[in-house]
Structure 1
């Protein structure tokens, strides 16, 4: 009986750990995407400013 309960608790903990790890990875990917998007906007702004100042 004790072995069955420990097996069930182990499975529940494994599923909880899996969801926690997947959530952390998704959160990290969203943060990296946001940082990359901001970096692209900065590069575009710097390129636009440098082209405008060069043409005048």
Structure 2
């Protein structure tokens, strides 16, 4: 009986660990995409400002 309970607890903990790792990876990817998006916006803004000041 104790072996069955420990097996079930082990499976539940393993599933919880996998879901936690997946959640952490998704959160990290969202952060990287957000940082990349901000970098692209800043790059485009700097490029547009430098081209407009060159023409004057």
Q: The TM-score by the shorter chain falls in which range? A: over 0.9
Gap runs ≥5 in structure 1: none
Q: Distance in 2 between matches of 1:40 and 1:17?
A: 35
Q: Compute the TM-score of the two structures, normalised by the length of structure 2.
A: 0.99
Q: CA RMSD in A?
A: 0.3
Deviation at 1:2, TM superposition (A): 0.6
Q: What are the Cα deviations for residues 19-44 of structure 1, in whole angstroms up to 9, with x where unaligned?
A: 00000000000000000000000000
Corresponding residue for 1:26? Answer: 26
Q: Compute the TM-score of the two structures, normalised by the length of structure 1.
A: 0.99
